[in-house]
Structure formats: C-alpha cells, structure tokens
C-alpha cells in the first residue's frame, strides 16, 4: 500500500454519492480511483484497481453492499454507509472498519478515515507483527510505536475483528488495535474469553445480561452468531441457574 490512501466509492443514490465525494475531497491523503453506481461495476473495479479502501453503500439494487463484500476473497478496508441503523451487525460480521449512517457528519467521516490510515500504517510496519504478545494468564502486551503496554485481561470487555486486525475494547472506554486475526487470538486467550460470533470474543466475567441472540457488556450489546448460540449458553449459563426445586 502506498502512503497515499486510494479508495473506490460506491453508492447508487446520486445525491448522497455527491455528498460523500465532496467530504472525501476535503480530506488530505486520499486518492479516488473510481466512483461506482452499483455493486456489479464496483466488483469489476475492485479487481482492476485494487484500492486500499472501499467506501460502500449497503442498499443498492441487484446486489447489496453486504452481498458484494461476502462475494469477495481479497478485501480492501471497508467503510459502510447507509440510511438505516439495522445493518450494523451484518456490517461487522464482514469485518468492516466502520459503519456510518447518512447523512454522515464530516467529523464522523474524518474519524473513520483516520481509523483506516492507522490500520494501513500498522499493516505496513514490519515491527507490527509482534503487536500482540501474551504475558501470562493475567495480562498481555500491546505494542504502540516503540512501547509495549501491559493490558490486564480483566480490563478487556471484548475483542472485535477487523480482518487481519483485532480491536480490543477496554472497560474504561479506550480501544487498542493489534495486528492479529481472530483465530490466532482465540487460541492465545485464557478461559474467561469466549467467541460468540465470527467478529467478537467476549470476556464472560463482564457479562451483564444474556439473551439467546444478544449479550450485554457494559454499554455494549453484541449479537451472538447463530452457530455459536448453544456453545455460548452452555459456557455462560450451563447449570448455574437457581432452580425452584432441588
């Protein structure tokens, strides 16, 4: 990837497409490779141009943005934009970097682009391969620039997948990024962590409430994947329910 962030924008709505273009043109360090009006032409452009980033509307005719991403093997970083909030779970199941609701405020777009730039810098840094280092059953180290930060496991609410990266969400509200995928991370975490979907691993000690398809951690509600539900209920609840009769 080059120092300049290249992107493709895809949106079938002309008004919002122009609105998003005008925002992205104001942000330094971005190069637009192509603007597409549907998912099919976007798919062709991705194979031909190989951008760093795809800014993608979810609701498009014929093939939705979610369906497009699921059809691809080699993905750029993804920022979804949509007029509705009910696609968030689907968006993060395909490892989107961010999910923006139209009309997107410029400060929100800036924050999303800054996140992508940080991921690009991390991915191209040869020293970032050791950004996550388990310490023991109590803590792990995260590398930020030239510093290793010790993070106690009991301060982590959950880990969220972003493709080749993982975003650790801590109980104080801060987020820390490491260059490690979910499968490799899962194998290195202690028993108090449990995978609840393709995109999330949670600290079961931080659960506030649990439904068959949803878990509450502090202010966060995370969806439980269909194929994970039985395992999650067995691990978290099991035989711990107080019974009326013994």
242 inside domain: no
Q: Where residue 25 sits, what CATH number does that domain have?
A: 3.40.50.2300
Residues 229-238: tens digit of each pLDDT: 999 999 998 7
Q: Where residue 178 sits, what CATH number does that domain have?
A: 2.40.50.1020
Mean pLDDT, residues 56-82 taken together: 93
Judge if 10 and 116 occupy the same domain: yes
pLDDT at residue 245, as a whole number? 60
Judge if 27 and 63 occupy the same domain: yes
136 inside domain: yes
Judge if 143 and 205 occupy the same domain: yes
Is 167 within 8 Å of 181 (Cβ atoms)?
A: no
Which two tokens mark 234?
A: 């067995």
pLDDT at residue 2, as a whole number? 45
Q: How confident is the model at residue 164 (pLDDT cuts 50, 70, 90)?
A: confident
Domain final position from 89, 123, 157: 123
The answer, yes or no, to whether residue 17 has pLDDT greater than 70, is yes
Q: Kindly report the pTM of this predicted structure.
A: 0.73
Judge if 119 and 132 occupy the same domain: no
pLDDT at residue 243, as a whole number? 57
Residues 86-143: tens digit of each pLDDT: 877 777 778 888 999 999 999 999 999 999 998 888 777 766 555 677 777 799 988 7
Which two tokens mark 194?
A: 């449990």
Judge if 135 and 100 occupy the same domain: no
Strands of 220-223's sheet, edge to edge? 207-211, 214-217, 220-223
CA dist., res. 76 & res. 96, Å (int): 10
Judge if 17 and 68 occupy the same domain: yes
Domain span at residue 98? 5-123
């Amino acid at each position: 990837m080059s120092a300049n962030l290249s992107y493709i924008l895809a949106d079938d709505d002309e008004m919002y497409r122009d609105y998003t273009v005008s925002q992205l043109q104001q942000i330094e360090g971005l190069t637009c490779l192509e603007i597409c009006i549907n998912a099919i032409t976007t798919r062709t452009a991705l194979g031909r141009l190989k951008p760093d980033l795809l800014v993608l509307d979810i609701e498009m005719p014929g093939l939705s943005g979610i369906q497009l991403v699921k059809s691809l093997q080699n993905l750029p970083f993804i920022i979804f934009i949509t007029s509705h909030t009910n696609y968030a779970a689907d968006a993060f199941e395909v490892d989107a970097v961010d999910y923006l609701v139209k009309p997107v405020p410029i400060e929100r777009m800036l924050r999303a682009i800054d996140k992508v730039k940080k991921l690009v810098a991390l991915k191209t840094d040869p020293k970032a391969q050791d950004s996550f280092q388990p310490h023991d059953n109590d803590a792990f180290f995260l590398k930020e620039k030239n510093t290793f930060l010790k993070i106690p496991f009991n301060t982590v609410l959950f880990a969220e997948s972003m493709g080749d990266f993982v975003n650790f969400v801590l109980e104080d509200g801060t987020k820390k990024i490491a260059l490690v995928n979910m499968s490799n991370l899962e194998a290195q975490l202690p028993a108090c962590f449990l995978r609840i979907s393709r995109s999330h691993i949670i600290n079961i000690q931080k659960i506030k409430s649990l439904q068959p398809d949803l878990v509450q951690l502090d202010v966060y509600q995370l969806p439980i994947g269909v194929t994970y539900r039985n395992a999650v209920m067995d691990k978290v609840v099991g035989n711990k329910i107080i019974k009326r009769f013994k």
